[in-house]
Structure 1
Protein backbone atom coordinates (compact mmCIF):
# COMPACT_ATOMS: atom_id res chain seq x y z
CA UNK A 1 0.00 0.00 0.00
CA UNK A 2 2.79 2.33 0.85
CA UNK A 3 4.40 1.76 -2.51
CA UNK A 4 1.15 2.50 -4.23
CA UNK A 5 0.73 5.72 -2.24
CA UNK A 6 4.29 6.73 -3.05
CA UNK A 7 3.60 6.03 -6.74
CA UNK A 8 0.49 8.24 -6.65
CA UNK A 9 2.37 11.00 -4.87
CA UNK A 10 5.18 10.73 -7.39
CA UNK A 11 2.68 10.81 -10.28
CA UNK A 12 0.78 13.79 -8.85
CA UNK A 13 3.99 15.72 -8.15
CA UNK A 14 5.22 14.93 -11.67
CA UNK A 15 1.93 16.24 -13.13
CA UNK A 16 2.16 19.40 -11.00
CA UNK A 17 5.74 20.07 -12.10
CA UNK A 18 4.83 19.47 -15.74
CA UNK A 19 1.82 21.80 -15.54
CA UNK A 20 3.97 24.53 -13.93
CA UNK A 21 6.54 24.18 -16.71
CA UNK A 22 3.76 24.21 -19.30
CA UNK A 23 2.27 27.41 -17.86
CA UNK A 24 5.68 29.07 -17.76
CA UNK A 25 6.33 28.09 -21.36
CA UNK A 26 2.88 29.32 -22.38
CA UNK A 27 3.54 32.74 -20.80
CA UNK A 28 6.84 32.99 -22.67
CA UNK A 29 5.21 31.98 -25.95
CA UNK A 30 2.39 34.50 -25.42
CA UNK A 31 4.95 37.24 -24.81
CA UNK A 32 6.86 36.31 -27.98
CA UNK A 33 3.62 36.11 -29.94
CA UNK A 34 2.55 39.58 -28.78
CA UNK A 35 5.95 40.99 -29.70
CA UNK A 36 5.80 39.37 -33.15
CA UNK A 37 2.26 40.68 -33.62
CA UNK A 38 3.41 44.23 -32.76
CA UNK A 39 6.32 43.90 -35.22
CA UNK A 40 3.93 42.78 -37.97
CA UNK A 41 1.58 45.67 -37.22
CA UNK A 42 4.47 48.15 -37.37
CA UNK A 43 5.75 46.64 -40.63
CA UNK A 44 2.26 46.90 -42.17
CA UNK A 45 1.96 50.52 -41.10
CA UNK A 46 5.38 51.30 -42.55
CA UNK A 47 4.51 49.51 -45.80
CA UNK A 48 1.23 51.44 -45.99
CA UNK A 49 3.05 54.72 -45.42
CA UNK A 50 5.60 53.86 -48.11
CA UNK A 51 2.77 52.96 -50.48
CA UNK A 52 1.06 56.25 -49.69
CA UNK A 53 4.25 58.18 -50.48
CA UNK A 54 4.69 56.37 -53.77
CA UNK A 55 0.98 56.49 -54.67
CA UNK A 56 0.53 60.14 -53.77
CA UNK A 57 3.71 62.17 -54.31
CA UNK A 58 1.70 65.42 -54.36
CA UNK A 59 0.66 64.82 -50.76
CA UNK A 60 4.27 64.11 -49.79
CA UNK A 61 5.40 67.33 -51.48
CA UNK A 62 2.68 69.18 -49.59
CA UNK A 63 3.90 67.68 -46.29
CA UNK A 64 7.50 68.71 -47.06
CA UNK A 65 6.41 72.24 -47.97
CA UNK A 66 4.39 72.50 -44.75
CA UNK A 67 7.39 71.26 -42.78
CA UNK A 68 9.60 73.89 -44.41
CA UNK A 69 7.08 76.60 -43.51
CA UNK A 70 6.91 75.28 -39.91
CA UNK A 71 10.70 75.35 -39.57
CA UNK A 72 10.81 78.89 -40.89
CA UNK A 73 8.03 80.06 -38.54
CA UNK A 74 9.62 78.38 -35.52
CA UNK A 75 13.07 79.70 -36.39
CA UNK A 76 11.58 83.22 -36.42
CA UNK A 77 10.76 82.62 -32.76
CA UNK A 78 14.34 81.46 -32.13
CA UNK A 79 15.96 84.54 -33.63
CA UNK A 80 13.47 87.06 -32.22
CA UNK A 81 12.89 85.78 -28.66
CA UNK A 82 15.00 85.53 -25.54
CA UNK A 83 16.46 82.08 -24.82
CA UNK A 84 14.42 81.97 -21.59
CA UNK A 85 11.23 81.93 -23.69
CA UNK A 86 12.25 78.98 -25.89
CA UNK A 87 10.93 76.31 -23.54
CA UNK A 88 7.49 77.89 -23.31
CA UNK A 89 7.05 78.77 -26.96
CA UNK A 90 8.83 75.89 -28.68
CA UNK A 91 8.37 72.85 -26.44
CA UNK A 92 5.57 71.45 -28.64
CA UNK A 93 7.56 71.99 -31.83
CA UNK A 94 11.09 71.02 -30.73
CA UNK A 95 12.18 67.79 -29.07
CA UNK A 96 13.77 68.12 -25.64
CA UNK A 97 17.16 67.29 -27.16
CA UNK A 98 16.81 70.07 -29.73
CA UNK A 99 15.71 72.55 -27.05
CA UNK A 100 18.67 71.61 -24.87
CA UNK A 101 21.07 72.08 -27.78
CA UNK A 102 19.48 75.41 -28.58
CA UNK A 103 19.59 76.65 -24.99
CA UNK A 104 23.00 75.31 -24.01
CA UNK A 105 25.22 75.80 -27.02
CA UNK A 106 23.51 77.82 -29.71
CA UNK A 107 21.58 80.56 -27.93
CA UNK A 108 24.68 82.59 -27.11
CA UNK A 109 25.28 83.15 -30.81
CA UNK A 110 21.61 83.47 -31.72
CA UNK A 111 21.02 86.31 -29.28
CA UNK A 112 23.96 88.62 -28.63
CA UNK A 113 24.14 90.88 -25.63
CA UNK A 114 23.02 93.85 -27.71
CA UNK A 115 20.08 91.79 -29.06
CA UNK A 116 21.15 92.12 -32.68
CA UNK A 117 18.31 91.35 -35.03
CA UNK A 118 18.69 88.33 -37.28
CA UNK A 119 16.83 87.82 -40.53
CA UNK A 120 16.19 84.39 -41.97
CA UNK A 121 17.68 84.47 -45.44
CA UNK A 122 16.66 80.96 -46.48
CA UNK A 123 15.29 77.65 -45.29
CA UNK A 124 16.30 75.03 -47.84
CA UNK A 125 15.64 71.30 -47.91
CA UNK A 126 19.01 69.60 -47.75
CA UNK A 127 17.96 65.93 -47.66
CA UNK A 128 14.90 63.76 -47.23
CA UNK A 129 15.21 60.23 -45.94
CA UNK A 130 12.16 58.28 -44.79
CA UNK A 131 10.31 60.74 -42.55
CA UNK A 132 13.33 62.81 -41.58
CA UNK A 133 13.91 66.06 -43.38
CA UNK A 134 17.12 68.04 -43.04
CA UNK A 135 16.88 71.76 -43.64
CA UNK A 136 19.64 74.30 -43.91
CA UNK A 137 18.61 77.53 -42.20
CA UNK A 138 20.68 80.62 -43.01
CA UNK A 139 20.31 83.64 -40.71
CA UNK A 140 21.99 86.97 -41.18
CA UNK A 141 22.62 89.65 -38.60
CA UNK A 142 24.31 93.01 -38.85
CA UNK A 143 27.75 91.59 -38.09
CA UNK A 144 27.56 87.87 -38.78
CA UNK A 145 25.71 85.20 -40.71
CA UNK A 146 25.04 81.75 -39.33
CA UNK A 147 23.96 78.43 -40.80
CA UNK A 148 22.10 75.70 -38.93
CA UNK A 149 21.25 72.18 -39.96
CA UNK A 150 17.77 71.42 -38.62
CA UNK A 151 16.39 67.86 -38.61
CA UNK A 152 12.59 67.70 -38.78
CA UNK A 153 10.54 64.54 -38.19
CA UNK A 154 7.38 64.42 -40.32
CA UNK A 155 5.71 61.82 -38.09
CA UNK A 156 6.31 63.73 -34.87
CA UNK A 157 5.83 67.12 -36.56
CA UNK A 158 8.75 68.57 -34.65
CA UNK A 159 12.40 69.52 -34.88
CA UNK A 160 14.48 66.69 -33.43
CA UNK A 161 18.04 67.97 -33.88
CA UNK A 162 19.90 71.23 -34.48
CA UNK A 163 23.55 71.68 -35.43
CA UNK A 164 25.49 74.79 -36.32
CA UNK A 165 27.38 74.47 -39.60
CA UNK A 166 30.41 76.34 -40.79
CA UNK A 167 29.55 79.13 -43.23
CA UNK A 168 32.24 79.33 -45.88
CA UNK A 169 32.56 82.25 -48.21
CA UNK A 170 30.26 85.23 -48.49
CA UNK A 171 26.56 84.75 -48.33
Structure 2
Protein backbone atom coordinates (compact mmCIF):
# COMPACT_ATOMS: atom_id res chain seq x y z
CA UNK A 1 0.00 0.00 0.00
CA UNK A 2 2.82 2.34 0.90
CA UNK A 3 4.61 1.53 -2.37
CA UNK A 4 1.49 2.14 -4.48
CA UNK A 5 0.99 5.60 -2.86
CA UNK A 6 4.62 6.40 -3.55
CA UNK A 7 4.27 5.27 -7.17
CA UNK A 8 1.04 7.29 -7.61
CA UNK A 9 2.69 10.37 -6.05
CA UNK A 10 5.78 10.00 -8.27
CA UNK A 11 3.53 9.49 -11.32
CA UNK A 12 1.56 12.65 -10.49
CA UNK A 13 4.78 14.64 -10.06
CA UNK A 14 6.10 13.32 -13.40
CA UNK A 15 2.79 14.09 -15.15
CA UNK A 16 2.89 17.63 -13.68
CA UNK A 17 6.45 18.13 -14.94
CA UNK A 18 5.48 16.78 -18.37
CA UNK A 19 2.47 19.13 -18.62
CA UNK A 20 4.62 22.10 -17.59
CA UNK A 21 7.22 21.24 -20.23
CA UNK A 22 4.56 20.82 -22.93
CA UNK A 23 3.11 24.25 -22.04
CA UNK A 24 6.52 25.86 -22.55
CA UNK A 25 6.96 24.56 -26.13
CA UNK A 26 5.18 27.56 -27.78
CA UNK A 27 7.34 29.99 -25.79
CA UNK A 28 10.45 28.08 -26.77
CA UNK A 29 9.36 28.15 -30.42
CA UNK A 30 8.96 31.93 -30.25
CA UNK A 31 12.40 32.26 -28.67
CA UNK A 32 13.90 30.03 -31.35
CA UNK A 33 12.40 32.15 -34.14
CA UNK A 34 13.72 35.34 -32.48
CA UNK A 35 17.19 33.87 -31.99
CA UNK A 36 17.29 32.73 -35.63
CA UNK A 37 16.30 36.24 -36.79
CA UNK A 38 18.97 37.79 -34.56
CA UNK A 39 21.55 35.33 -35.87
CA UNK A 40 20.65 36.14 -39.47
CA UNK A 41 20.95 39.89 -38.80
CA UNK A 42 24.28 39.40 -37.04
CA UNK A 43 25.61 37.31 -39.92
CA UNK A 44 24.61 40.00 -42.42
CA UNK A 45 26.25 42.70 -40.33
CA UNK A 46 29.36 40.59 -39.89
CA UNK A 47 29.51 39.83 -43.60
CA UNK A 48 29.29 43.53 -44.46
CA UNK A 49 32.05 44.37 -41.97
CA UNK A 50 34.13 41.46 -43.17
CA UNK A 51 33.76 42.62 -46.78
CA UNK A 52 35.02 46.10 -45.96
CA UNK A 53 37.92 44.82 -43.88
CA UNK A 54 38.92 41.88 -46.05
CA UNK A 55 38.56 43.60 -49.40
CA UNK A 56 39.82 47.15 -49.20
CA UNK A 57 39.88 47.07 -53.00
CA UNK A 58 36.09 47.20 -52.96
CA UNK A 59 36.14 50.28 -50.71
CA UNK A 60 38.92 51.79 -52.80
CA UNK A 61 36.86 51.31 -55.98
CA UNK A 62 33.87 52.85 -54.23
CA UNK A 63 35.95 55.88 -53.20
CA UNK A 64 37.44 56.16 -56.71
CA UNK A 65 34.01 56.14 -58.36
CA UNK A 66 32.68 58.64 -55.82
CA UNK A 67 35.65 60.95 -56.40
CA UNK A 68 34.93 60.99 -60.14
CA UNK A 69 31.29 61.83 -59.49
CA UNK A 70 32.18 64.64 -57.05
CA UNK A 71 34.69 66.06 -59.55
CA UNK A 72 32.07 65.99 -62.32
CA UNK A 73 29.55 67.61 -59.95
CA UNK A 74 31.88 70.54 -59.17
CA UNK A 75 32.77 71.00 -62.86
CA UNK A 76 29.09 70.92 -63.78
CA UNK A 77 27.86 73.52 -61.32
CA UNK A 78 30.95 75.72 -61.74
CA UNK A 79 30.57 75.95 -65.51
CA UNK A 80 26.77 76.17 -65.79
CA UNK A 81 24.40 79.10 -65.22
CA UNK A 82 22.47 78.88 -61.96
CA UNK A 83 19.16 78.68 -63.82
CA UNK A 84 20.16 75.25 -65.18
CA UNK A 85 21.06 73.75 -61.77
CA UNK A 86 17.71 72.05 -61.05
CA UNK A 87 17.92 70.15 -64.34
CA UNK A 88 21.66 69.47 -64.70
CA UNK A 89 22.34 68.55 -61.06
CA UNK A 90 19.17 66.57 -60.23
CA UNK A 91 20.88 63.15 -60.43
CA UNK A 92 24.12 64.31 -58.82
CA UNK A 93 22.92 66.12 -55.70
CA UNK A 94 20.09 66.26 -53.21
CA UNK A 95 17.46 68.97 -53.60
CA UNK A 96 18.83 70.69 -50.50
CA UNK A 97 22.27 71.06 -52.10
CA UNK A 98 20.81 72.30 -55.38
CA UNK A 99 18.78 74.92 -53.50
CA UNK A 100 21.87 76.03 -51.54
CA UNK A 101 23.88 76.35 -54.72
CA UNK A 102 21.16 78.31 -56.47
CA UNK A 103 20.46 80.67 -53.57
CA UNK A 104 23.71 80.94 -51.63
CA UNK A 105 26.86 79.90 -53.42
CA UNK A 106 26.27 81.14 -56.95
CA UNK A 107 25.65 84.83 -56.17
CA UNK A 108 28.87 85.02 -54.14
CA UNK A 109 31.02 83.47 -56.85
CA UNK A 110 31.56 84.90 -60.30
CA UNK A 111 30.53 82.27 -62.83
CA UNK A 112 30.70 84.14 -66.10
CA UNK A 113 30.22 82.73 -69.57
CA UNK A 114 33.91 83.32 -70.34
CA UNK A 115 35.30 81.80 -67.14
CA UNK A 116 36.03 78.11 -67.24
CA UNK A 117 36.62 76.31 -63.98
CA UNK A 118 38.93 73.35 -63.61
CA UNK A 119 39.06 71.10 -60.55
CA UNK A 120 42.78 70.78 -59.74
CA UNK A 121 42.29 69.28 -56.29
CA UNK A 122 39.90 66.72 -54.85
CA UNK A 123 41.08 65.48 -51.45
CA UNK A 124 39.38 62.89 -49.30
CA UNK A 125 38.76 63.97 -45.72
CA UNK A 126 36.95 60.80 -44.61
CA UNK A 127 37.01 57.65 -46.74
CA UNK A 128 35.21 55.14 -44.47
CA UNK A 129 31.51 54.69 -44.10
CA UNK A 130 28.69 55.47 -46.46
CA UNK A 131 29.28 59.24 -46.28
CA UNK A 132 32.54 60.27 -47.91
CA UNK A 133 33.84 63.75 -47.16
CA UNK A 134 35.87 65.71 -49.72
CA UNK A 135 37.78 68.98 -49.93
CA UNK A 136 37.47 70.31 -53.48
CA UNK A 137 39.08 73.33 -55.14
CA UNK A 138 37.61 74.83 -58.31
CA UNK A 139 39.95 77.22 -60.13
CA UNK A 140 39.54 79.62 -63.04
CA UNK A 141 41.89 82.27 -64.44
CA UNK A 142 40.33 84.86 -62.13
CA UNK A 143 39.68 83.05 -58.86
CA UNK A 144 39.76 79.85 -56.87
CA UNK A 145 36.97 78.51 -54.71
CA UNK A 146 37.13 75.70 -52.12
CA UNK A 147 34.28 73.49 -50.91
CA UNK A 148 33.75 70.72 -48.42
CA UNK A 149 31.43 68.17 -49.98
CA UNK A 150 29.71 65.16 -48.42
CA UNK A 151 28.89 62.35 -50.84
CA UNK A 152 26.51 59.57 -49.77
CA UNK A 153 27.55 56.31 -51.45
CA UNK A 154 24.19 54.68 -50.65
CA UNK A 155 22.13 57.42 -52.30
CA UNK A 156 24.84 58.06 -54.92
CA UNK A 157 24.63 61.83 -54.61
CA UNK A 158 26.08 64.88 -52.89
CA UNK A 159 24.11 65.44 -49.70
CA UNK A 160 25.89 68.41 -48.14
CA UNK A 161 28.39 71.08 -49.05
CA UNK A 162 29.83 74.32 -47.76
CA UNK A 163 32.12 76.95 -49.23
CA UNK A 164 35.47 77.62 -47.60
CA UNK A 165 37.55 80.76 -47.77
CA UNK A 166 40.97 80.48 -49.36
CA UNK A 167 43.87 82.49 -48.05
CA UNK A 168 47.03 82.91 -50.03
CA UNK A 169 47.76 79.65 -51.74
CA UNK A 170 45.17 79.64 -54.52
CA UNK A 171 44.16 83.32 -54.59
CA UNK A 172 44.67 84.97 -57.99
CA UNK A 173 46.83 82.16 -59.32
CA UNK A 174 47.23 81.61 -63.00
Q: TM-score, normalised by structure 1?
A: 0.69
Which residue of structure 2 aligns with residue 145 of structure 1?
144
* 2:79 is the counterpart of 1:70: no
Task: Give 4+ residue runs of structure 1 displaced > 4 Å after superposition.
Answer: 38-47
Structure 1 unaligned runs (5+)? 1-37
Contact 1:126–1:134 (CA<8 Å) still a contact in 2?
yes
Query: Which has the larger Rg?
Result: 2
- Verify: 1:88 aligned to 2:87, yes or no: yes
Partner in structure 1 of residue 14 of structure 2 = none
What is the CA-CA distance between 1:51 and the residue it aligns to? 2.2
Aligned residues: 135
CA offset digits 1:133-167 (Å, max 9, x no partner): 11111011222211000100111111000100121
Q: Which residue pairs with 2:153 in the alignment?
A: 154
Task: Render the CA deviation track for 1:83-111: whole Å, top value 9, x for unaligned.
Answer: 11111111111011111111110112344
Structure 1 residues 46 and 160, CA, compared in 2 at 3 Å: closer, same or farther?
farther
The CA deviation string for residues 64-88 of structure 1, in whole angstroms up to 9 with x for no partner, is 0010011111211111111111111
CA RMSD of aligned residues (A): 2.5
Q: C-alpha separation between the residues in 2 aligned to 1:88 and 1:44?
A: 42
Partner of 1:123: 122
